[in-house]
């Protein structure tokens, strides 16, 4: 297809796309790429206003319907107009979201006396500032070494000074990071004589319930940590969960105030005392989970303003006619609730605050944890099997019928607002009735004393809540193992994320792993982050990633050439992976971290490696405690091999600071056993870009465990998943990111076998 464009416009488009793609596409490929990305976002076409002065031949196959559908949807005169209009719409969006402050304002705060001036830190702080509470969402990836924590706090203080009537909230995923941010604030406060009322707080999920802790001690009298834990619970001055970090084999997360129903517990009283200080504060330092809990409370407090379904249908249809987007129910419902009663919608905070979110890549997941409204049918079955009552057996029988009646071909089945699936709806109601009968026939106080009993009480409460949800209850299946769950969409994480965003006056988000290289979601590589947090694209402002150069120095990336024998689906994958890990371990002078995606992989690898050097993570173990064990073994010269999963992908910072960086081999080799695809969310199967984006984000987090200080030498990253180099499944995005970042060595399995034979 021949199209006429302006040379200046084309040059601008080429520069923009090639910078974010990290390659030099031809002019025709750039136009096609930008157009397809614009269509993928359903951007309204914008034809350039400058006069065309050259012709470009862009290849579009007649079988490709994306362009013809776009042309028809927006009633464009020609496919050429559709192509140029979509490409230019993407370019205009990029130019708009790439705006940054005109002047540096944080020089008065940074650097602190005695600290080296970091230009990237100041750039980040300047970008994150909100001049006015305009409802903008600022996103920037900032790597290790930038000093993003201090930059975030400095920008929060500056924003408070510029918006004195707005409450400012600085949030982190863990208490440890929260304490560091608060310490940074105290440094700035002391240095500059700040007079703000600043408070630090955390959610009910971060305070231990003394009652539940004592129940657990009664339930497990033979547990090896039971006596010490009991003494700590009785003697501790605080019930904040970080006071109990040493008890890595105690399920602390199941024993928090969040899971208790008694408001007289000392842990609940400590939570309430901290919460009471929030609304009068100028600046709040809190955990991600407190923001999520506040939003849930805000929605609950505005129930009287909930949007009727008939009103939603009218709003949805009207909006679709003008924007060509079908907005979900929660989008309009949230706006009605917040606009009708902004004070109640604010939850624990003052209305319309400014948020500054550190480690923002974890924010969506934390919202999901705090708002989880799903019942795993497999977990429910496993829990019910611990009881012999007739009511438990009846519930198990209905549960079996429901699971067997669910079509194996469906990943998601609506149980509301549909005339179909009546049998499944009937079984859902029967299961709820049976579970309520079980609870009534049991002693609630007795159920509360055990972990299984509390699980059943929670499941019964959720299923009963689902019964009154007339809109959004669904039966879902995980895409691979077909694990079934019943889920209500009224409080899903996207609904709560949207509630948080809309009720704010603006947000600034930073993390070392927010940027997914330019793809169909756009926003300069931040589209995935914006979608996860329900941020409107037209209000997002982005900054290109700020990366420390030393992160990729002295690191070699080993990739295994893709073949059928070296992929996770092959029968010998664990065997062959184990041999490669053994090869690395034999030659290593330091420690090895092997990141797995399941405990089953850890067990299989541990069996194969069969070495005293292996430290294998178990379910429920504290990653923090294991990292201390690993570092201790390394310092004793044991060259440990840690098989890890879960939080180890995101929360490890292992370095030997007792030696110079060039002698620090605490983690010399990082091994990625399998690409960290998420197998939980069935909707991702239908949206492969999101599946790839989430995987790449987590992969970047995992790789970030290797280099935590400048000046280290002789490090390797080995990805054992051969799919990465197969060229299949859209993995070229991941491959390109890694090979553009690190010096790469491509190994064939044959060369690995030869090395092992020589050894």
Which two structure tokens, joined as six digits, stand for 234?
């009785």
Give the whole-angstrom CA distance, residue 326 versus residue 591.
51
DSSP assignments along 95-132, one per residue: HHHT---SS--GGGTSSPTTSPP-HHHHHHHHHH--SS
| Domain covering 374-488 in this structure, CATH number | 1.10.275
Pick out the chain residues at pLDDT < 50.
99-104, 520, 681-686, 751, 757-759
DSSP-based three-state secondary structure for 326: coil
Does residue 380 contact residue 398 with C-beta atoms inside 8 Å? no
pLDDT of residue 101: 44
Give the whole-angstrom CA distance, residue 267 versus residue 204.
8
pLDDT of residue 685: 44
pLDDT of residue 97: 60
Question: HEC profile for 633-669?
Answer: HHHCCCCCEEEECHHHHCCCCCCCCCCCHHHCCCCCE
Give the whole-angstrom CA distance, residue 442 versus residue 432.
15
CA distances (Å), origin 28, targets 32, 630, 675, 686: 6, 53, 33, 29
pLDDT of residue 111: 79
Tell me: domain 549-758, CATH 3.40.50.300, correct? yes
Does residue 336 contact residue 327 with C-beta atoms inside 8 Å? no
Which two structure tokens, joined as six digits, stand for 1?
């297809």
Reported as half-sphere exposure (CB side, CA atoms, 13 A), residue 506 has a value of: 23
pLDDT of residue 42: 64
Preceding amide of 111 cis, omega within 30 = yes
Token pair 């000046």 is at which residue?
Answer: 711
395-402 long-range contacts, CB within 8 A, separation 24+: 395/431, 395/434, 395/435, 395/437, 395/438, 398/427, 398/430, 398/431, 398/434, 399/431, 401/427, 402/377, 402/427, 402/428, 402/431
User: Fold match between 119-201+281-302+341-371+491-546 and 374-488?
Assistant: no
Which two structure tokens, joined as six digits, stand for 679?
């197998």
C-alpha closest to that of 722 among 593, 578, 564: 564
Could you state, in order of their start, the residue ranges of all structural domains in the chain? 2-97, 119-201+281-302+341-371+491-546, 206-276, 374-488, 549-758
pLDDT single digits (tens) 356-377: 999 999 999 899 888 877 899 9
C-alpha closest to that of 644 among 677, 597, 699: 597
Alpha helices in 301-389 (DSSP H): 309-323, 329-340, 342-345, 363-370, 377-384
**Per CATH, the architecture of 119-201+281-302+341-371+491-546 is what?**
3-Layer(aba) Sandwich (3.40)
Around Cβ 690, how many Cβ atoms within 10 Å? 21
pLDDT of residue 507: 98
pLDDT of residue 520: 47
């Amino acid at each position: 297809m021949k199209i006429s464009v302006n040379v200046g416009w084309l040059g601008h488009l080429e520069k923009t796309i090639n910078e974010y793609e990290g390659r030099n596409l031809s002019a025709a490929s750039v136009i096609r790429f930008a157009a397809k990305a614009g269509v993928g976002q359903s951007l309204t076409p914008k034809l350039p206003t400058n006069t065309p002065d050259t012709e470009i031949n862009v290849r579009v196959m007649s079988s490709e319907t994306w362009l013809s559908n776009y042309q028809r949807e927006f009633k464009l005169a020609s496919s050429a107009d559709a192509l140029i209009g979509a490409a230019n719409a993407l370019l205009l969006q990029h130019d708009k979201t790439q705006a940054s402050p005109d002047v540096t304002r944080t020089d008065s705060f940074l650097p602190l006396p005695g600290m080296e001036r970091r230009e990237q830190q100041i750039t980040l702080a300047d970008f994150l500032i909100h001049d006015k509470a305009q409802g903008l969402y600022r996103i920037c990836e900032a790597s290790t070494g930038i000093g993003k924590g201090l930059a975030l706090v400095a920008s929060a203080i500056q924003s408070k000074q510029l918006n004195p009537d707005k409450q400012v909230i600085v949030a982190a995923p863990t208490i440890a990071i929260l304490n560091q941010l608060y310490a940074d604030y105290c440094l700035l406060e002391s240095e500059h004589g700040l007079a703000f009322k600043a408070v630090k707080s955390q959610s009910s999920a971060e305070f231990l319930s003394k009652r539940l802790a004592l129940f657990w001690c009664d339930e497990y009298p033979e547990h090896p940590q039971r006596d010490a834990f009991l003494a700590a619970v009785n003697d501790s001055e605080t019930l904040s969960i970080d006071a109990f970090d040493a008890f890595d084999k105690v399920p602390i997360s199941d024993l928090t105030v969040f899971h208790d129903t008694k408001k007289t517990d000392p842990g609940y009283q400590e939570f309430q005392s901290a919460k009471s200080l929030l609304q009068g504060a100028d600046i709040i330092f809190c955990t991600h989970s407190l923001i999520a809990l506040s939003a849930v409370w805000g929605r609950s407090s505005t129930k009287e303003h909930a949007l009727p379904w008939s009103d939603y249908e009218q709003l949805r249809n009207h909006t679709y006619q003008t924007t060509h987007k079908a907005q979900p129910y929660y989008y309009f419902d949230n706006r009605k609730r917040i606009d009708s009663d902004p004070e109640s919608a604010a939850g624990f905070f003052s209305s319309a605050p400014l948020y500054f979110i550190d480690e923002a890549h974890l924010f969506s997941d934390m919202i999901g944890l705090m708002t989880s409204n799903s019942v795993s049918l497999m977990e429910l079955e496993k829990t019910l099997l611990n009881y012999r009552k007739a009511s438990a057996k009846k519930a198990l029988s209905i549960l079996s019928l429901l699971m067997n009646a669910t079509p194996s071909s469906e990943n998601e089945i609506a149980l509301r607002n549909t005339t179909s699936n009546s049998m499944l709806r009937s079984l859902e109601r029967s299961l709820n009735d049976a579970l309520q009968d079980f609870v009534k026939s049991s002693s609630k106080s007795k159920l509360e004393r055990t972990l299984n009993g509390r699980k059943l009480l929670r499941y019964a409460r959720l299923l009963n809540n689902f019964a009154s949800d007339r809109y959004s209850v669904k039966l879902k299946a995980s895409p691979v193992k077909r694990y079934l769950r019943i889920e209500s969409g009224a409080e899903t994480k996207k609904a709560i994320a949207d509630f948080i965003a809309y009720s704010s006056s603006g947000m600034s988000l930073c993390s070392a792993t927010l940027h997914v290289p330019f793809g169909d979601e756009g926003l300069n590589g931040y589209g995935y982050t914006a979608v996860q947090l329900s941020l409107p694209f037209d209000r997002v402002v982005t900054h290109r990633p700020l990366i420390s150069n030393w992160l990729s120095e002295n690191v070699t990336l080993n990739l295994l050439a893709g073949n059928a024998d070296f992929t996770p689906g092959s029968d010998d994958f664990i065997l062959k992976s184990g041999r490669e890990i053994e090869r690395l371990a034999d030659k290593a002078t330091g420690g090895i971290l092997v990141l797995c995606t399941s405990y089953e992989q850890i067990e299989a690898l541990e069996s194969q490696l069969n070495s005293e050097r292996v430290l294998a993570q178990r379910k429920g173990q504290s990653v923090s405690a294991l990292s201390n064990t690993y570092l201790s073994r390394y310092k004793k010269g044991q060259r440990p091999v840690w098989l890890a999963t879960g939080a180890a992908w995101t929360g490890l910072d292992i370095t030997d600071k007792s030696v110079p960086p060039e002698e620090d081999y605490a983690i010399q080799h990082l091994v990625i056993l399998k690409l960290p695809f998420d197998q939980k969310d069935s909707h991702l199967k239908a949206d492969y870009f999101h599946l790839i984006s989430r995987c790449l984000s987590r992969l970047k987090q995992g790789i970030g465990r290797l280099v935590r200080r400048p000046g280290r030498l002789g490090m390797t990253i080995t990805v054992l998943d051969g799919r990465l180099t197969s060229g299949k499944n859209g993995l070229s995005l991941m491959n390109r990111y890694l090979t553009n970042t690190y010096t790469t060595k491509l190994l064939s399995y044959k060369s690995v076998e030869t090395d092992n034979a020589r050894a």
